[in-house]
Amino acid sequence: MSYPLVCYSLRKRPVWNSLAPALLKGGNNIKWKEAKLETHDVAIPLPNPGGTPRRVLRAILLLPSDVGNDSSRNRIRRLFNLNGGQDIVLVFLLEQGHDQVNPVAALMKLQLDLIDESEIPVIPANTIQDVSTNLMTFHRQISMSNRSRKATNPVQTLLPYCSDGQLLSEHAVNVLTDLTSSFRDLVEAASTQTGRVKIVEFLGDDAESIISFWAKEYLVE
């Protein structure tokens, strides 16, 4: 596989049906192709230096309403078992739909479910338009850092995207990782007065974008 692939079944899924046509237009000089993907929604080749076996980053796209249902749990389990939990990621859409499911509450539940079963990195996307950008950013991070195929800290993977603006710097992510031991801690820190004071104390200017991210439509009810 030499091109990123997007599953054609997305065209039949509400909300996601606009993603495949947008990707196929070839924005950002990336040439996507449609294919039938059995266990996932997106597949992106990863660099394989030194003639090592071809690696592929596989992703499942999730809506807040998908969290907790048996179908989604089974899909995530199958993806995890496909390659022992290596080179996989979940893309979670934070945009609130007509079902009125609170996106951050659903994201927190998803993180807690994953901790109980398998640690899989999750990257949020504020809108459908952000999915490709955030996914390719995650892909570049894996490719450039040559880090372990299996994420050791899913919360740390999530942190760069928890900003109302540009991705958080590596320094900010490291500080937040030290301040929060779990996703629940992260939400509580950003949504309570005590937690916000602590974030400002340690992160200064970066604190504003982090607090703003949680304070808008993503605020946990």
* Shared-domain flag, residues 182 and 143: no
61 and 121 together in one domain: yes
199: left (phi over 0), alpha (psi -120 to 50) or beta: alpha
pLDDT digits (tens, 9 = 90+) for 120-154: 889 989 889 889 989 998 998 888 765 544 444 56
pLDDT score recorded for residue 155: 65
Do 139 and 181 share a domain, yes or no? no
Label residue 183 by pLDDT band (50, 70, 90): low
Q: Same domain for 170 and 74?
A: no
pLDDT at 220 over 50: no
Question: What's the mean pLDDT when you consider all of the chain?
Answer: 81
What token pair was written down for 122?
């999750």
pLDDT reported for residue 164 = 74
Residue 155 domain-assigned? Answer: no
Higher pLDDT, 46 or 189: 46
Split at pLDDT 50, 70, 90, the class of 52 is: low
Are 15 and 97 spatial neighbours (Cβ–Cβ below 8 Å)? yes
Based on the domain organization, do 30 and 119 belong to the same domain?
yes
- CATH classification at residue 46: 3.40.50.10130
Confidence of residue 221 (pLDDT cuts 50, 70, 90): very low
Range of the domain at 167: 162-221
Confidence (pLDDT) at 112? 74
Q: Which tens digits make up the pLDDT trace of 67-124?
A: 989 999 999 999 999 888 889 999 999 876 666 678 877 887 887 777 656 678 899 8
Task: Note the pLDDT of residue 175.
Answer: 86
Tokens of 25: 């237009």
* pLDDT more than 90, % of the chain: 24
Same structural domain, 191 and 138: no
Q: How many domains does the chain have?
A: 2
- HEC-encoded secondary structure of the chain: CCCCEEEHHHHHCCCHHHHHHHHHCCHHHCCCEEECCCCCCEEEEECCHHHCCCEEEEEEEECHHHCCCHHHHHHHHHHHHHCCCCCEEEEEECCCCCCCCCHHHHHHHHHHHHHHHCCCCEEEECCHHHHHHHHHHHHHHHHHHCCCCCCCCHHHHHHHHCCCCCCCCHHHHHHHHHHCCCHHHHHHHHHCHHHHHHHHHHHCHHHHHHHHHHHCCCCCC
Domain-terminating residue out of 149, 183, 201: 149
pLDDT tens track for 152-162: 456 666 777 77
